[in-house]
Structure formats: structure tokens, C-alpha cells
Amino acid sequence: MSAHGLAVYENRNKARTNRYSFEQKSIALTPAQRRTFKANSSAWTFFNAQPPGYRRVATWFVVSAKKEETKARRLATLIADSAAGRRIGILEKRSSKGPTNSSE
């Protein structure tokens, strides 16, 4: 790396780093959140059957909230969607067929 690149890196705003799920070394629900999730066995089973990438991002969706009430609401959403056998809306698998044209 050039001297200029190193200087920019050293002077970066550290508060703006490690903000995204892929930048985190370890993401986990708190023990209390985990107990709440496990209390709904169908939701917990569905969640654990999902690929690791989905579980990581869905967990980050819950733990990244700043306010406790937001964390609780997001956990409730994750549990409800998992219990219904679907991924949370922002991570729901999309159809590979693409949009349909209703004018045909």
C-alpha cells in the first residue's frame, strides 16, 4: 500500500468501522434472547435448518439494534416468521422467475 493509502487508513473514522454483519467476528443472541427463541421449538428448528449465512444476517438484524425495545421487536419478528416457516421479510428468498408482467 502507498504511503498516502496508509495515512488515510490510519486516520479513518473508527466509529464507522465494524458496522455490518460481515465485519463482525462473532455474532450471537444474548442468553436471554436465545432462551426466548428456544421456547418456540418450531421457530428454533426452522431457524437452525437455514443456511449459516441467513442465520448470521438474521441474528445481526436483532443484535444490531441500538434500543432494547427495537431488539425485542426484531426478535419477536424473527420468532414469528420462523414459526410460520418463512424467513424474515428483508431476507426472504425471492422467486427466480422475476417480476411478472400483468399486462400480457
Q: What is the pLDDT of residues 15-35, one digit of tens each?
A: 655 555 555 567 889 999 999
pLDDT at 96: 61
Q: Are 74 and 62 in contact (CB under 8 A)?
A: yes
pLDDT at 20: 56
Q: What is the pLDDT of residues 54-101, one digit of tens each?
A: 998 999 999 989 999 999 999 999 999 999 999 998 766 666 665 555
Nearest to 68 by CA among 46, 22, 26, 36: 36
pLDDT at 104: 44
DSSP one-letter code for 16: G
Radius of gyration of the chain from Cα atoms? 19
pLDDT at 69: 97
pLDDT at 99: 54
Q: Which amino acid is at 71?
A: K
Q: Taking 80 as the threshold, does the pLDDT of residue 3 lie above it?
A: yes
Q: Where are the domains of the chain?
A: 26-89
Q: Are 37 and 78 in contact (CB under 8 A)?
A: yes
The confidence band for 45, taking pLDDT boundaries of 50, 70 and 90, is: very high
